[in-house]
Amino acid sequence: MNSRSELALAERLMQERLRRRAMEQGVTLIDPDTVWFHHDTEIAADVVVHPSVVFGAGVRVATGAEIFSFSHLEGAEIAEGARVGPFARVRPGSEIGPKARVGNFVEIKATRLGAGAKANHLTYLGDTTVGEGANIGAGTITCNYDGYGKHRCEIGEGAFIGSNSALVAPVRIGADSIVGAGSTITKDVPQDSLALSRAEQINRPEAARRFREMRRNDKETS
């Protein structure tokens, strides 16, 4: 290869070979031309790969898994029956357990998602262990980096993490516990506990009407 164009041609030929081999081994590629493999991708029979998926180095996908469009996987293991994407990013050191779910706009790094666990949308899980059957609500993030080092979160089996929560590592969420939506968790949560960390809501009757009248009067006098 003597130029970038020749390099691109070699890549195209290699991708055609990898796609053909995958389909011959029983993998369903819905739109083969848009799926990109690494030379070491291991993908079992009866896996379904949707259009526009990229496999980086070190990915293994077990039978029955389904990878949806616009997902990027690297250095990860996807177990039997798991579902990833669309628009998911699975980074190195991650393990997606059997029938676990990584949904749209979810990023996972160095994290193990237990069997049947779900992180369905708008979530970041870094340096985290998620127990079987746990549910991670939309907008949840693990605050795993303090500017100097990485710290781990442990989420127990069957735990429910409410939407828009921040888990400040290192922290442990006990099995079958609940974290209320909008909470910032900085201390361990015992098993079967409910954790809440948010300001008390205050309702002021008629205050919205008075505010609108004040703004209207200001506009008329300006």
Residues with catalytic roles:
121
Q: By CB neighbour count within 10 A (0-12 exposed, 13-18 middle, 19+ buried), where does 176 fall?
A: middle
CB 108 within 8 A of CB 89: yes
State CA 202 to chain mean position distance: 34
State CA 140 to chain mean position distance: 10
CA distances from 182 to 33, 123, 141, 179, 198 (A): 42, 13, 11, 9, 7
Q: What is the DSSP letter of 219?
A: H
